[in-house]
Amino acid sequence: MKIAVIKETYPEETRVALIPANVSKLIKAGLNVTIQAGAGELAGFDDVLYTDAGAEIAPGQAETLKDASAVLTLHGYGSALDTLLPALAPGQTLIAMMDPLAGPQVAQQLAQAEINGIALELVPRITRAQSMDVLSSNATIAGYKAALLGATHSHQLFPMMMTAAGTLKPARVFIMGVGVAGLQACATAKRLGAVVEAYDIRPAAREQILSVGARPVELNIEAENTETKGGYAKEQSDDFIARQQAAMADVLAQQDVVITTAAIPGRKAPVLITETQLQAMKPGAVIVDLAAETGGNCALTQAGETVVHHGVTILGPKNFAATVPNHASQMFGTNLTNLLLLMAQERGLNWDFEDEIIRDTTVSYQGEVVNARLRELLGLA
Amino acid sequence: MKIAVIKETYPEETRVALIPANVSKLIKAGLNVTIQAGAGELAGFDDVLYTDAGAEIAPGQAETLKDASAVLTLHGYGSALDTLLPALAPGQTLIAMMDPLAGPQVAQQLAQAEINGIALELVPRITRAQSMDVLSSNATIAGYKAALLGATHSHQLFPMMMTAAGTLKPARVFIMGVGVAGLQACATAKRLGAVVEAYDIRPAAREQILSVGARPVELNIEAENTETKGGYAKEQSDDFIARQQAAMADVLAQQDVVITTAAIPGRKAPVLITETQLQAMKPGAVIVDLAAETGGNCALTQAGETVVHHGVTILGPKNFAATVPNHASQMFGTNLTNLLLLMAQERGLNWDFEDEIIRDTTVSYQGEVVNARLRELLGLA
First-last CA distance in chain A = 33
Burial class (CB in 10 A: 0-12, 13-18, 19+), B239: exposed
A136 is catalytic: yes
Q: Indicate the burial class of A138 (C-beta count within 10 angstroms; 0-12, 13-18, 19 or more).
A: buried
Q: How far apart are CA B253 and CA A337, in angstroms?
A: 30
Instruction: Give the model's confidence band at A237: pLDDT under 50 very low, under 70 low, under 90 confident, else very high.
Output: confident
State chain A's mean pLDDT as an integer. Answer: 94
pLDDT higher at A238 or A341: A341
Q: Does A108 participate in catalysis according to the annotation?
A: no
β-pairing, B32-36 vs B2-5, is: parallel
Radius of gyration from C-alpha coordinates of chain A: 22
**Alpha helix segments (H runs only) across chain B:** 20-28, 47-52, 61-65, 78-84, 105-112, 134-153, 180-191, 205-211, 238-252, 275-279, 325-343, 356-361, 372-377
CB contact under 8 A, A163 and B325: no
Distance from CA of B9 to the nearest CA of A (A): 19
CB-based contact B340:B31 (threshold 8 Å): yes
Tell me what the mean pLDDT of segment A104-116 comes to: 97
**Dist CA A225 CA A230 (whole Å):** 13
Q: Is 80 exceeded by the pLDDT of residue A33?
A: yes
Catalytic pick from A61, A92, A136, A184? A136
How many CB atoms neighbour CB A298 within 10 A? 28
Q: Which residues of B are catalytic?
A: 125, 130, 133, 136, 232
Catalytic residue among A99, A133, A289, A360: A133
Separation of CA B6 from chain center: 21
Query: Per-residue pLDDT for A201 more than 90?
Result: no
| A316 half-sphere exposure, CB direction, 13 A CA radius | 19
CA distance B295 to chain A (A): 24
Query: What is the mean pLDDT of the segment spanning B2-8?
Result: 97
**Would you call B327 and A168 a contact, using CB atoms and an 8 Å cutoff?**
yes
- A191 CB neighbours in chain B (<8 A) are 159, 191-193
Give exposure, A314-343, as e/b (b: 16+ Cβ within 10 Å): bbbbebbbbbbbbbbbbbbbbbbbbbbebb
Residues of A in contact with B231 (CB under 8 A): none
- Tell me the H-state helices in chain A: 20-28, 47-52, 61-65, 78-84, 105-112, 134-153, 180-191, 205-211, 238-253, 275-279, 325-343, 356-361, 372-377
Cβ pair B168:A141 closer than 8 A: no
Instruction: Return the ∠ at Cα A141 (arms to A138 and A143), rounded to 5°.
Output: 105
Tell me the angle at which helices B325-343 and B20-28 cross, rounded to the nearest 10 degrees.
Answer: 10
pLDDT tens-digit readout, B58-79: 999 999 999 999 999 999 999 9
Kindly tell me if the per-residue pLDDT of A203 is higher than 90: no
Alpha carbons A183 and A198: distance in angstroms, whole number:
9
**Interface residue of A13, A41, A125, A148 to substitute, partner B, most B CBs within 10 Å:** A148
Three-state secondary-structure class, residue A165: coil
Chain B residue numbers touching A157 (CB-CB < 8 A): 141, 144, 324, 327
- Tens digit of pLDDT for each residue in B109-150? 999 999 999 999 999 999 999 999 999 999 999 999 999 999
A-chain residues within 8 Å CB-CB of B164? Answer: 130-131, 133, 136-137
Question: What structural domains does chain B harbor?
Answer: 2-132+325-377 (3.40.50.720), 139-318 (3.40.50.720)
pLDDT over 80 at B298, yes or no: yes
Mean pLDDT value across residues A341-365? 93
* B225, B243 contact by CB (below 8 A): no
Roughly how many angstroms between the first and final C-alpha of chain B, as a whole number? 33
Task: Give residue A231's pLDDT.
Answer: 65
pLDDT of residue B225: 65
Residue A30 pLDDT more than 90? yes
Q: Do A191 and B191 touch (CB under 8 A)?
A: yes
Q: Count A/B contacts: CB-CB distance under 8 Å.
A: 122
CA dihedral over A280, A284, A289, A292, signed as positive or negative: positive
Which residues does residue A365 pair with via DSSP β-bridges, in sequence order? A368
Q: Which residues contact B201 (CB under 8 A, 6 or more apart)?
A: B223, B226, B233, B236, B244
State CA B155 to chain mean position distance: 28
Checking if the pLDDT of A369 tops 70, the result is: yes
Instruction: Decide if A133 is catalytic.
Output: yes
Model confidence at B229, pLDDT cuts 50, 70, 90, reads low
Does A220 have pLDDT greater than 90? no
A232 is catalytic: yes
B243 falls in which pLDDT band (50, 70, 90)? confident
Pick among B22, B45, B320, B326 to test the A interface (most A CBs inside 10 A): B326
Task: Write the pLDDT tens digit of every residue in B316-374.
Answer: 999 889 999 999 999 999 999 999 999 988 788 999 999 999 999 999 999 999 999 99
Q: Residue A23 contacts by C-beta under 8 Å, 6 or more apart in sequence?
A: A33, A35, A50, A53, A54, A55
Cα–Cα distance, B293 to B277 (Å, whole number): 21
Which residues of chain B are within 8 Å of residue A14 when distances are taken between CB atoms? 155
Q: Is the pLDDT of residue B25 over 90?
A: yes
Which is more confidently placed, A325 or B348? A325
